[in-house]
Amino acid sequence: MGEVRVGDKVARRSHGSDVIFVVLKIITARMKVARVLLRGLNMRLMADAPIDDLVTIDNEEAESSIESVHREARQVVEKVFRRRMAEDSRIEHRGREDKILPPGIDYSYFPGKVLHLDGDGDYLKHCMKFYKELNVPAVGYYVPEEAQASKVAALFREHLPDILVLTGHDGLITRVGDKLNLDSYRTSKYFVEAVKKARQIEPDKDSLVIIAGACQSYYEALIDAGANFASSPQRIFIHCADPLLVAEKISHTPFDRVVHVNEVAESIISGLNGIGGIETRGKLRLGLPNTMSTNR
Cα separation of 33 and 213, whole Å?
31
134 and 220 belong to one structural domain: yes
39 and 97 belong to one structural domain: no
Average pLDDT over residues 88-112: 67
Residue 255 pLDDT > 90: yes
Asked if the structure places residue 292 within a domain, the reply is no
Q: What are phi and psi of 25, to 5 degrees?
A: -160, 145
Average pLDDT over residues 256-262: 94
Asked if the structure places residue 103 within a domain, the reply is yes
Asked if the structure places residue 294 within a domain, the reply is no
Query: Which tens digits make up the pLDDT trace of 2-23?
Result: 588 888 889 999 888 888 889 9
Radius of gyration of the chain (CA): 21
123 and 179 belong to one structural domain: yes
Asked if the structure places residue 2 within a domain, the reply is no
83 and 216 belong to one structural domain: yes
* Residue, of 221 and 105, whose pLDDT is higher: 221
Strand partners, 164: 115, 210
Lowest-pLDDT range, 91-100, 221-230, 270-279?
91-100
Asked if the structure places residue 151 within a domain, the reply is yes
Alpha helices in the chain (DSSP H): 59-97, 121-133, 148-159, 188-201, 219-225, 242-251, 261-267
Q: What are phi and psi of 49, to 5 degrees?
A: -160, 155
168 and 240 belong to one structural domain: yes
- pLDDT of 4 reads 85
Asked if the structure places residue 295 within a domain, the reply is no
Q: Which domain holds residue 34?
A: 9-57
- pLDDT of 93 reads 45
80 and 224 belong to one structural domain: yes
- pLDDT of 188 reads 98
Comparing C-alpha atoms, which of 112, 116, 156 is closest to residue 241? 116
33 and 76 belong to one structural domain: no
104 and 185 belong to one structural domain: yes
Asked if the structure places residue 119 within a domain, the reply is yes
Query: Which tens digits make up the pLDDT trace of 238-247?
Result: 988 899 999 9
Cα separation of 254 and 281, whole Å?
8
Contact 253, 261 (CB under 8 A): no
- pLDDT of 73 reads 77
- pLDDT of 286 reads 81
Torsion of CA 249, 254, 255, 256, to 10 degrees: -130
The phi-psi region of residue 53 (left if phi > 0; otherwise alpha if psi is between -120 and 50; otherwise beta) is alpha
- pLDDT band at residue 290, thresholds of 50, 70 and 90? confident
Query: Which tens digits make up the pLDDT trace of 51-78?
Result: 889 998 888 888 888 788 778 877 888 8
Asked if the structure places residue 271 within a domain, the reply is yes
Lowest-pLDDT range, 67-71, 112-116, 198-202, 265-269?
67-71
220 and 270 belong to one structural domain: yes
Query: Which tens digits make up the pLDDT trace of 156-198?
Result: 999 999 999 999 999 999 776 789 999 999 999 999 999 999 9
Comparing C-alpha atoms, which of 111, 200, 221, 214 is closest to residue 156? 200
Query: Which tens digits make up the pLDDT trace of 197-220?
Result: 999 999 999 999 999 999 999 999
